[in-house]
Structure 1
């Protein structure tokens, strides 16, 4: 790494059919993504797409845990966590722009076990979340009476088949589709806010009855101080998934510049959307009226229970938001699976790519698992809670990776540096650990399910795959260079 560039790009390989290709190059030829397919604008759209469905529903259940004041504090703290983490990940993504994302960062900082645990946690999030969202899409399709369909496995199957098909077509086409649908959803949120703010009444914000037995309870914190903590997972729904932008690194033009720029802009957009959505929805109808609503924005606009032209529009736009998040989360899950498989942490055949450079098994296998879970359980809320549990583990490990690399390798070339340095990632680490514990307050079974998956995956890694890692994979090669440099320094 004499010139500081060897570790920042994936190793180029000869073209397919090159007789002079080494076994390592031949292996990587079959596992190559299409480079240069996305710039900062499409990446920004991807970052917003991951999350936008959370503005339309889900967050409001935190009102039943903490009331307006408690959820507001939880959302501010979770917004701070994501902002700090995004700045830390932007630095790490500029150092190592590969499809491994968080797994690659943790692999360099925390070793093979750290890389595996981080990658597995990310994979849990990105496999379970699309399954949950497919169920929510089914509910929307039924409520809107689209084509007379009811929520059930045919709708879930159609979601996976159609949208995985677009991903198999090509990454450029997939990201452009995601960008358009996300734009529709964001425009709808802004239109909703304009309409809802005309009905704003501050007296409705704290209209949830107070539990006087709860410590520190009052009209703004009806369930006391502990309610704030219990609302952490719901505050996360305004931002859950934005950390997936670095997974597009190998398909990005000038990733060292594009990734930090896109992550910062998408985070800024999400913070603004969270603020206006939260205030407009609760102020228009009151916290009590929407705390249990499956479609809180529509509920906020229908004061007398009768649909209005605006509420119908927002209802359809909510479906667009769900599609955007579903579509982009499938992308993220496929790239994390691709990277873990390419490096040997998971079965290697899962990282094979098609002629159009799409990781087809990385798309089809998680899709089959997601569809099976959705069809078998129909429990979208629990699957999202499992996804949140996996996400919080990965957040803690990725934030820790930033701290470790800053301390252990201060001279590592950093095209982008996190504002605030270690202090920023330390805030993200502390809040991620708090959010992890909070998941047990909301859904103990979801946390237990995630832990069981973790134990099974850990056993596979401990007894089999850790002895069969692929040294030529970009993330592993990057870590090997660090080990070699450390050995030279000791000599």
Structure 2
């Protein structure tokens, strides 16, 4: 038991030997991991908020979310450099708010990283079905094949995993660049991006000739679009989960995550502008499961649709592969410390990858997807997967952002002498801005009937997790690297306080 009263169980000599990771990643690999995790949101999902605020309202929402992520990323960069452990958000919260704070924050991220790949692979299956003319009933086969293939790639070694990440991320950006170059000469912003208006009942209507108002639903519409704009940047925060596989984490993670976010700012700006500025226009794009493919059809013609759809799969593959990586490390870190069942953190004896965590998390996601598909019927089940599960992932992310920003503030206040190889240029103000925007986004999720079911689903997930931790997990904690760091740092802080008194 530590001096703070936290009980730690003694483990066998080979406990950590069976849970080892291998260092490989440098700045470029980490940059690819961050960009690759997010990039699918520039292919599908971002567009679903266009009807909430019109193009102008959505653009305002995207700008606000970009500011939130800037503040968040600077907070994460500082904490990751000071606490270079694979636990990421859980590790930050554990050091600042104790075991319960660490577990709750880790549970928030767990919702995000288990469910986001499920949403991405559902979009990927939609694209593949368009390529190969397969009936909707076959979509679950694409899901299963996707999980089997990319979980296997993640298991076969960190070297292979990062090489695949770099290749698919660069390919995804190249695909987007081709679209931007082709759309720029034919873009008609006024006609297509501004073709959403407010009807007599206040609901969105299509304006065939465009030239509608920039903010058809006013500031309220922009606020309502906030949860949808998150998809443009969701998962960039996963980089600290690779800390124990990075060559120089205190230096490389801050550089990789900041460079990744700046890349995403450019890509998101061009996607929101150009994809909406070509046919079929913002109104129809708002309900599309394949907005980039719709943009390609407008610039290259429908005759190339199948080939273009196959190319467009690259971005979805990139995010699916990289978020699976994050999911494995996130479950692994919580399990290694005893918060989740310990067997989940056993790593592959040869490849040193968290194969048990990867498989277990994927089985949970596939079980949810197949249960919704067969329990609700194909059409309704698919809509719920791309709707409710997406909403659950966003809700989990917002809660984790709030808690990570709080962790940053607590660490700054309680541990001012903590060695910080990197310091956030936005400081405390960046954390406060992150908290404010994340809180407003979460409120607007609760105000939207479409999002409420997702938030309630997160609550159910939390209830099960908290019950497990209260009854079992908190009595089976292990002094893992991040736990040992938190205990040692807290003890030093207490000693310094007593000496000061």
Residue 264 of structure 1 is matched in structure 2 by: 258
Report if aligned partners of 1:197, 1:284 keep a CA contact under 8 Å in 2.
Answer: no
Match of 2:419 among 404, 413, 419: 413
Residue 7 of structure 2 is matched in structure 1 by: none
**Are positions 1:324 and 2:318 aligned together?**
yes
SS at match of 1:443: helix
> How many residues in Structure 1 have an aligned counterpart in Structure 2?
466
Residue 3 of structure 2 is matched in structure 1 by: none
SS at match of 2:35: helix
The structural deviation recorded for 1:157 is 1.1
Match of 1:463 among 458, 471, 488: 471
SS at match of 1:376: helix
**Are positions 1:362 and 2:344 aligned together?**
no
Please give the TM-score of this superposition, normalised by the length of structure 2.
0.89
| Cα distance change, pair 452–23 in 1 and its aligned pair in 2 (3 A) | closer
Residue 392 of structure 2 is matched in structure 1 by: 386
The structural deviation recorded for 1:363 is 0.7
Structure 2: 5+ residue stretches without partners: 1-9, 206-211, 373-381
Give the distance between the partners of 1:375 and 1:23, measured in 2 at CA: 38
Give the distance between the partners of 2:138 and 2:127, measured in 1 at CA: 8
Report if aligned partners of 1:142, 1:150 keep a CA contact under 8 Å in 2.
Answer: no
Give the distance between the partners of 1:380 and 1:60, measured in 2 at CA: 13
SS at match of 1:26: coil
Report if aligned partners of 2:415, 2:493 keep a CA contact under 8 Å in 1.
Answer: no
The structural deviation recorded for 1:475 is 1.3
| Cα distance change, pair 65–297 in 1 and its aligned pair in 2 (3 A) | same
Give the distance between the partners of 2:364 and 2:247, measured in 1 at CA: 32
The structural deviation recorded for 1:213 is 6.1
Report if aligned partners of 2:75, 2:431 keep a CA contact under 8 Å in 1.
Answer: yes
Residue 168 of structure 2 is matched in structure 1 by: 181
SS at match of 1:427: helix
Report if aligned partners of 1:94, 1:415 keep a CA contact under 8 Å in 2.
Answer: yes
Residue 195 of structure 2 is matched in structure 1 by: 207
**Are positions 1:485 and 2:492 aligned together?**
yes
Give the distance between the partners of 1:171 and 1:149, measured in 2 at CA: 35
Give the distance between the partners of 2:286 and 2:40, measured in 1 at CA: 17
Residue 443 of structure 1 is matched in structure 2 by: 451
Residue 153 of structure 2 is matched in structure 1 by: 166
Residue 142 of structure 1 is matched in structure 2 by: 129
Report if aligned partners of 2:186, 2:299 keep a CA contact under 8 Å in 1.
Answer: no
Please give the TM-score of this superposition, normalised by the length of structure 1.
0.91
Structure 1: 5+ residue stretches without partners: 1-21
| Deviation sequence 1:258-315 (CA, Å, 0-9, x none) | 1001001110110100001111111122322312111112223434995154x55542
